[in-house]
Amino acid sequence: MAVRALWWSGDGLDLIDQRELPARTRIRHLRTLPQVAEAIRGMAVRGAPAIGAAAAYGMALAQRSRRMPPDRAARLLAATRPTARDLFVGIEVARAAWAAGGDALAAAEGYRRAIVEECHAIGRAGAPLLARKERVLTHCNAGALATVEWGTALAPIRVAHDEGRKLFVWVDETRPLLQGSRLTAWELAQERIPHAIIADNAAGYFMQRGEVDAIIVGADRIAANGDFANKIGTYEKAVLAREHGIPFYVAAPWSTFDPGTPRGDRIPVEERGPDEVLRLSGVATAPRRSRARNPAFDVTPHRFVRGFITPAGVLTSRQLGPALRAHARRAVDAPRRAAEQLT
C-alpha cells in the first residue's frame, strides 16, 4: 500500500497536506487540538474516514495538554465540518475513552486500525463486482488519502488491480476543489492503474457512448434508509447511471452509516465559502461582482444505488434496515476493542 494519509509520530499527528497535492507532498506535524481542527476545516485533511481519524488524534492531543475537559474538546472538533458522520464517531470513540479515565491516544490508534482493516475488507468485498467491469467511473477522492489507507471506492479497484485484472478508471475532476484530478489521479498514477481525468460535465458523454461499465463512489453519511451524502455532483452521476443502465455502488466503512438519521433530507449539508467557486488556485475565474453558491455535498436517494459495498459484503438498501443498525454499532465497538488490545 503506497499511500498513507496520516499517522501518529512521537508527540503529534503527521499528515499529508492534501491541499498541496499533486505539486508537493508536504507532511504537516500537528501538536494541538486547534491545529487539528484547523487542518480539518481548511481541508488539509479531508474525506470522511480520514477526518474521523484525525479528530480522534485531536482528542488525544487535547487530553495530553490538560487544558480542557473532554466535552469541550469534542465540541471544538465537532464544529469543523458537519456532514461526515465519521467525524462524530472518531470524536466519540476518543471522548468516551478519555471520559472513562482511559487513554484517548490508544482509542485513536484503535480507530485508525479499524478503519484500515474495514477499508481492506471493502476492497475484497467489492473486487468481484469488477470481474467483467473494466471501465469504472469514480467521483471526488475516496482513496487512501480520504481514509488513511486503501480507500473506500478505490479499495475494490486496488484489490482487483493487485489480482492482475484489467481495469480502467474514469476520474471526475470534481470541481470546485479538484479532489478527483489532484488526489484520485495522484493515487492511481502512483500505482500505475490506467485512468483518465474527465471534466465533471463529460461523465454523461462517456456513459451515453457505452464507455462506463460501473460507478463506485464513497459517502460522507448514509442514512438508515440508504439515502447518502457525498461530494457535490454525485447525485447527477447516479441519475445518469440509471438512465444508461450502469450499476452504481457506494462503498463505506461502518463509521459512515448513521442509523440515527432516518432519511437523506435530514443529513446536514455543509455549504463552503464562495471563493472556492469564484477562484481557481487563487486566480479569479469570475467577474468581481458575481456571487456564488458552494454546497460541498449532495444527497442521492437510495433507489439509485445498486449496492452498498461494506466490510461485510455488498448489501442492497433493502438489506440495510436492522442489519445496518447492528453493524453501525461496530463503528464504535471495533475501535474500542482494538484500543483494548493495545493497552
Count residues near ligand MRU (CB under 6 A).
17
Question: Which residue is listed with cell 452504481?
Answer: 248
Q: According to the binding rule CB under 6 A, does residue 184 interact with ligand MRU?
A: no
The SS3 call for residue 214 is strand
Our finding on whether 142 is near ligand MRU (CB under 6 A) is yes
Under the binding rule (CB under 6 A), the answer on residue 116 touching ligand MRU is no
For residue 211, what is its C-alpha cell? 464507455
Phi, psi of 256 (to 5 degrees): -90, -20
**Residue 152 contacts ligand MRU per CB under 6 A:** yes
Among residues 86, 172, 200, 220, the one annotated as catalytic is 220
Helices (H) and strands (E) in the chain, counts: 13, 16
Tell me the chain's radius of gyration from C-alpha atoms.
19
Per CB under 6 A, 120 contacts ligand MRU = no
Q: To which H or E segment does residue 216 belong?
A: strand 214-217
CB of 258 to ligand MRU, least distance (A): 13
Q: Does 317 bind ligand MRU (CB under 6 A)?
A: no
Among 63, 105, 149, 179, indicate the residue that binds ligand MRU (CB under 6 A): 179
Residues in contact with 49: Cβ distance below 8 Å, sequence separation at least 6, in sequence order? 86, 115, 119, 146, 147, 148, 152, 253, 255, 256
* Site pattern 26..55 for ligand MRU (x: CB under 6 A): --------------------xxxx------
Minimum distance of ligand MRU from residue 162's CB (angstroms):
19
CB of 65 to ligand MRU, least distance (A): 26
Q: Is 140 in the site for ligand MRU (CB under 6 A)?
A: yes
Identify the helix (H) or strand (E) that includes residue 343. none
Q: Interface with ligand MRU includes 310 (CB under 6 A)?
A: no
Query: Which of residues 55 and 104 has its CB atom nearest to ligand MRU in the complex?
Result: 55
What cell was used for 64?
495530553
Catalytic: 220?
Answer: yes
Contact region with ligand MRU (CB under 6 A), list: 8-16, 92-100, 215-223, 273-281? 215-223
Angle at which helices 33-41 and 48-65 cross, to 10°? 160
The grid cell for 266 is 435530514
270: exposed, middle or buried (C-beta count within 10 Å: 0-12, 13-18, 19+)? middle
C-alpha distances in Å from residue 86, one per residue of 49, 82, 173, 220, 252? 5, 10, 24, 7, 10
Euclidean distance between CA atoms 253 and 331, whole angstroms: 8
CA distance 212 to 57: 39
Look up residue 252 and give its three cell numbers.
463505506
Q: Which of 92, 109, 118, 220 binds ligand MRU (CB under 6 A)?
A: 220
Q: Least distance from C-beta 55 to ligand MRU, angstroms?
A: 13
Exactly one of 176, 218, 233, 259 binds ligand MRU (CB under 6 A); that residue is: 218
Taking CB under 6 A as the criterion, the residue among 74, 80, 109, 147 binding ligand MRU is: 147
Shortest CB 220 distance to ligand MRU, Å: 5
Phi, psi of 309 (to 5 degrees): -90, 110
Q: Is 335 in the site for ligand MRU (CB under 6 A)?
A: no
Judged by CB under 6 A, which of 80, 225, 230, 310 binds ligand MRU? 230
Residues classed as catalytic: 220
Residues that bind ligand MRU (CB under 6 A): 46-49, 84, 140, 142, 146-147, 152, 179, 218-220, 230-231, 296
